[in-house]
Structure 1
Amino acid sequence: MLDYGERGGDADHHVEWNQHSSLGAGGRIAVLITFLVLGAAVLLPFNTLITPTEYYRSILSSSHAATNFMSWVLLVFNAGTIIFGAHAVVSLHKTTPAQRIYFASTSIFLGLLLYTFFTTRSSAEADGKIQDLYFALLILVTFSVAASTAYLQNAVVSLCSIFGGRAMGVMLTGQGVIGVAISFVQLVAAYGNSRLPPKGTHGGVPPATPPPPGSMQPGGEEAASRAATIFFASSTFFVALSIAAFIWLARSKVYRDTCRGYEVATQSSGVREASLEPMTQVKPAFLSSFVEKLPPAARANAHQILDVQSKVLVRATCILVNFAITLSVFPALTARVRSTAPRDQQWATPLVFIALHFLILNSADLLGRMAPMVRGCLIRSEKLTVLGTALRIVFIPLFFACNIHLDGPGPKGALPDWAFFTILFFFGLSNGLVATSIFIVGPASSKLTSDSERAMAGAVLSFWLTLGLAVGSIGSFAITAMI
């Protein structure tokens, strides 16, 4: 039984698109598949950038960023999404979801295409200065892709807030699907391109002189580069597919009829002024005081943003904390975990083991995102949402108890591989369940009385999500410093 948390009151409007006369059974499925693809496209850039940790490690081995490159990638990406995500929220009324989706997805396509080109060039043998330059280019493109992702996420979440809980649930499931798909492609590529450590004279025992801590085995740089090229190219192709899918949806009659009342591109001054009066009591007071100093044109929009935020503040805070916990350890810490099994087993080599850990976490996250579809699994209560978010902190010390040492089997008492994967599974499951419940229940709140407010609620929650990612990426520096 499905439970998408459709809102009360005028809930019929939310399912109206599903009952549209122009849609048959095939058309309804096609619309849902399009939202699935759009959700995948939103999370695709982030997953693509953080997955090839061994590739980054190989091309930046002599760079000043060799020890904390992933924390820098996370920080720059999330800083970009915050900066441009904030602008996306305040300028939501100046454009349409379609315009933003077209522009942002095209920019992401070009950015990932450039990444694909990067992976065909190796800097593993270059000196530190060349690798520092390579790292600077990596960060520059990361920031550009992050900006485009911020606008794409804002537009897609706002659009789903108008279409309703079913569209939102499917879109969020799509995000989980792309995480699993990318991880699977990476695992296959890593397994096919990995090489076992050179065998010594004692049946699989590594040679007497091991490679430096954290370095790759001979030939590992080339294998990591080939694996990265495969999934970067696959990601670029998928973005092109998502653009084509949205073109179909945007040209459909059901899209035009469902979005007709939204009118985000142009709102009459009469409507803006009429909506201003009930928003003047927005808390906290110092923000309202600041807003009153803005020009009249910006004041009404700022009041609406603050008013909507006050209605979803608890869940917005939870979405921030949820992703801050996740990003503080994944992948900056979890990608440092090494198998406790002998390295002469191919699945236990760092390249394959790390790819496997991405697949397990993203698969669990997908299950968590799908769980609210089952009646009784959607977290509607604010108190339960707060509790579920806070309990996720326990995962941090559990990951520290795993084998996080890059050079060797790790200390005695380190948790075995099965324990690491079990912790990772529940870590991903809880992340997906909490996040999806917030995004479904939040915009469906009875406190929100119009499509404009529901779209704004989705955009506000989306922005707080990016704040959580940024807080987590900053926290990852502190987490890895504790190793």
Structure 2
Amino acid sequence: MSSPRNEQPLLDTTSDSEDVNEDAISVVKRRSFDDFGNESGYGHNSSHSDINDTDTHDIRDLESTDDYDDDTQQLFKAPNTVPVDRFSFTYIVFYLLGMTTLLPWNFFITAEDYWMFKFRNVTSNSSEITPIQATFTSDLTFSASIPSTMFLILNAIYGHKFRLHLRMVGSLVVILIFFACNTVLIKVNTDKWQDTFFDVTIVSVVVMNIATAILSGGLFGISGQFPSEYITAVVSGQALGGVFTAIIEIITITFASDPSESALIFFTIGNILLVLSLVAYILMGRTKFFKYYTTDRSGALSPKNSRLQLQRQPSLVGMEPKFWEVMNKMWLYGFTEWMVFVATLSVYPSVTVLISSQNRGHPWNDVYFIPVTNYLIFNSGDYLGRILAGLIEWPNDKPHLVAVMSILRIAFLPALLFCNTTVRHRLPVFIHSDYIFILLMCFFAFTNGYLANIAMIWAPKSVRNQEKEMASSIMAAFLGIGLAFGSSISLVIVQLL
């Protein structure tokens, strides 16, 4: 995990000193507003570029509002001073929160043995797959993606109307509560009420994914305001979460005596990560570095103060981002994000989890094949793709090329459909080799991570500063829509096998 570049002060201002020369403050403020005007499309010849005494009076009024704590007021006084991300703390927390946004999905989808045990045939000793077992993965994918998509879209449109702290902390608490409840159910005997347990599980998945949609929408929105390596931290954290989950699953099934015991250890670790994420976010929100980038450096430090400033300074009216204007600038990147996840979710994991080894009778083939090839290899390839995309950022500002590359990934679908699946009624098997399947999974995963991150990095770069949060939230919505489309297609594809 690479660490971000440390930002150094651009001006030698003493923001922490109480004895700040008022004339110097006035100059810095005037310069920051001039810069803000240039970024927003106002030239120096515009009447809006000059700040009169009334404007300065308004700024000082804003400084005195109760919404500012001492640290934030100091940042306002020296708007061109960039604090340092001490010990890369914010970067690390973004990584952790990226893992958390997909934590319920990763833990639920990876615990394959546990779900197969819970929904096994309890009326006979037959080892034949039950109807719930055959469709559970696709049902889980569908119930996770649809509510997630709906709330990602709602967050992109209305999220900025609600306090960021409420969205982030509230969603983390909801996820933790429902995840803990599902952990308790592991040791409950559900053999006599499998259908009810299935319904409870699906409802829990729906609620948790609504909360994760709010969490990820807010997280992508704020990460879009930071340097690009922080967006990479979020999306790489999502992939790293999959790698971490797969490794923990493999370790637990190796040393635990039965599926329930391994699942209990597995889900307990997930609860610990959720608590850690909640505490880390609260601490990060108090740092000067976080406040600097999540503060509108034109002086609007909160939705309330943003409206107040617009009232007092008519020259800034119209500077709030407009949805369709932002969409028009970055829709090709949104299309790329959508297409990447439509192609991926159409077959992963609903189809790939059904692919078995060509050989039997060995622990690798019977126990570890699916956890390693379907989860560990895919998530590792996805993670490496996102890391490389963050390092080279190629293609450089070429949305049409990125969109075409995402369309080409559709070729993976028929290749994976003709691999050796355990459920096969209509389509023939053309690819029997484990090695070819593993190779396909490596390229499939790598291209997923690479293109998803490239689109996520360049979308906020294609809009103005004040539009970055909305652009990143829109990208999160496109991602969710892609998940919904892909999971819906997977329901049909599983029936075609």
Please indicate, yes or no, whether the TM-score normalized by the shorter chain is above 0.5.
yes
User: Are the structure 2 counterparts of residues 264 and 19 from structure 1 closer, same or farther at C-alpha, using a change threshold of 3 Å?
Assistant: closer
Residues 266-285 of structure 1: CA distance to partner in whole angstroms, max 9, x if unpaired?
3328849988879xxxxxxx
User: Are the structure 2 counterparts of residues 412 and 103 from structure 1 closer, same or farther at C-alpha, using a change threshold of 3 Å?
Assistant: closer
Q: What displacement does 1:174 show?
A: 1.1
TM-score normalised by length of structure 1: 0.78
**1:249 and 2:249 are equivalent in the alignment:** no
Corresponding residue number in structure 1 for 2:166:
99
Determine if contact 1:368/1:432 at 8 Å carries over to the other structure: yes
**1:268 and 2:284 are equivalent in the alignment:** no
Corresponding residue number in structure 1 for 2:485:
471
Please, which of 104, 114, 121 is the counterpart of residue 188 of structure 2?
Answer: 121
Residues 254-296 of structure 1: CA distance to partner in whole angstroms, max 9, x if unpaired?
2222222164533328849988879xxxxxxxxxxxxxxxxxx
Corresponding residue number in structure 2 for 1:291:
none
Corresponding residue number in structure 2 for 1:321:
339
Q: What displacement does 1:310 show?
A: 1.8
Corresponding residue number in structure 1 for 2:368:
352
Q: How does 1:110-149 map to 2 (within 5 A)?
A: 110-123=177-190, 126-127=191-192, 130-149=193-212
Q: What displacement does 1:248 show?
A: 1.5
Corresponding residue number in structure 2 for 1:172:
235
Report the Cα distance in structure 2 between the residues aligned to 1:3 and 1:437, rounded to whole angstroms: 17
Corresponding residue number in structure 1 for 2:469:
455
**Greater RCO structure (CA 8 Å; 6+ sep):** 1
Residues 174-200 of structure 1: CA distance to partner in whole angstroms, max 9, x if unpaired?
11111100011111122334xxxxxxx
Q: What displacement does 1:91 show?
A: 2.1
Report the Cα distance in structure 1 between the residues aligned to 2:486 and 2:346, rounded to whole angstroms: 4
Determine if contact 1:322/1:392 at 8 Å carries over to the other structure: yes
Report the Cα distance in structure 1 between the residues aligned to 2:202 and 2:437, rounded to whole angstroms: 31
Report the Cα distance in structure 1 between the residues aligned to 2:436 and 2:345, rounded to whole angstroms: 20
Corresponding residue number in structure 1 for 2:141:
74
Q: What displacement does 1:223 show?
A: 2.6
**1:374 counterpart SS class:** helix
Determine if contact 2:418/2:431 at 8 Å carries over to the other structure: yes
Determine if contact 1:97/1:158 at 8 Å carries over to the other structure: no
Report the Cα distance in structure 2 between the residues aligned to 1:411 and 1:67, rounded to whole angstroms: 19
Give the letter for the 1:426 counterpart.
F
Report the Cα distance in structure 2 between the residues aligned to 1:378 and 1:18, rounded to whole angstroms: 31
Q: What displacement does 1:373 show?
A: 3.2
**1:68 counterpart SS class:** helix
Q: What displacement does 1:400 show?
A: 1.8
Determine if contact 1:42/1:153 at 8 Å carries over to the other structure: yes
Determine if contact 2:337/2:452 at 8 Å carries over to the other structure: yes
Corresponding residue number in structure 2 for 1:431:
448
Corresponding residue number in structure 2 for 1:216:
none
Give the letter for the 2:346 counterpart.
S
**1:230 and 2:245 are equivalent in the alignment:** no
Q: How does 1:333-482 map to 2 (within 5 A)?
A: 333-342=351-360, 344-349=361-366, 351-357=367-373, 358-375=375-392, 377=394, 380-405=397-422, 413-445=430-462, 448-451=463-466, 453-482=467-496
Determine if contact 1:3/1:373 at 8 Å carries over to the other structure: no
Q: What displacement does 1:61 show?
A: 3.2
User: Are the structure 2 counterparts of residues 154 and 178 from structure 1 closer, same or farther at C-alpha, using a change threshold of 3 Å?
Assistant: same
Give the letter for the 1:107 counterpart.
V
Report the Cα distance in structure 1 between the residues aligned to 2:332 and 2:318, rounded to whole angstroms: 24
Q: How does 1:275-286 map to 2 (within 5 A)?
A: none
Determine if contact 2:220/2:476 at 8 Å carries over to the other structure: yes
User: Are the structure 2 counterparts of residues 64 and 481 from structure 1 closer, same or farther at C-alpha, using a change threshold of 3 Å?
Assistant: closer
Q: Could you tell which deviates more after superposition, 158-167 or 260-269?
A: 260-269
User: Are the structure 2 counterparts of residues 322 and 413 from structure 1 closer, same or farther at C-alpha, using a change threshold of 3 Å?
Assistant: closer
Q: What displacement does 1:366 show?
A: 0.2
Structure 2 unmatched ranges of 5 or more: 8-37, 40-74, 122-129
Q: What displacement does 1:103 show?
A: 0.9
Report the Cα distance in structure 1 between the residues aligned to 2:207 and 2:258, rounded to whole angstroms: 27
Report the Cα distance in structure 1 between the residues aligned to 2:244 and 2:158, rounded to whole angstroms: 33
Q: What displacement does 1:412 show?
A: 7.1
User: Are the structure 2 counterparts of residues 332 and 167 from structure 1 closer, same or farther at C-alpha, using a change threshold of 3 Å?
Assistant: same
Residues 200-253 of structure 1: CA distance to partner in whole angstroms, max 9, x if unpaired?
xxxxxxxxxxxxxxxxxxxxxx73322322221111111111111112211112
Q: How does 1:55-66 map to 2 (within 5 A)?
A: 55-62=114-121, 65-66=132-133
**1:163 and 2:250 are equivalent in the alignment:** no
Please, which of 92, 115, 123 is the counterpart of residue 33 of structure 1?
Answer: 92
Determine if contact 1:338/1:406 at 8 Å carries over to the other structure: no
Q: What displacement does 1:72 show?
A: 1.3
Determine if contact 1:40/1:177 at 8 Å carries over to the other structure: yes
Report the Cα distance in structure 2 between the residues aligned to 1:180 and 1:18, rounded to whole angstroms: 39
**1:150 and 2:164 are equivalent in the alignment:** no
Q: What displacement does 1:54 show?
A: 2.8
Residues 343-371 of structure 1: CA distance to partner in whole angstroms, max 9, x if unpaired?
x211111x422111200000000000100
Determine if contact 1:84/1:150 at 8 Å carries over to the other structure: yes
Give the letter for the 2:465 counterpart.
S
Q: What displacement does 1:172 show?
A: 1.3
Determine if contact 1:17/1:254 at 8 Å carries over to the other structure: no
Report the Cα distance in structure 1 between the residues aligned to 2:391 and 2:289, rounded to whole angstroms: 27
TM-score normalised by length of structure 2: 0.76
Determine if contact 1:172/1:436 at 8 Å carries over to the other structure: yes
Report the Cα distance in structure 1 between the residues aligned to 2:79 and 2:111, rounded to whole angstroms: 40
**2:303 counterpart SS class:** coil
Report the Cα distance in structure 2 between the residues aligned to 1:242 and 1:368, rounded to whole angstroms: 24
Determine if contact 1:161/1:168 at 8 Å carries over to the other structure: yes
Corresponding residue number in structure 1 for 2:329:
311
Q: Could you tell which deviates more after superposition, 468-477 or 69-78?
A: 69-78
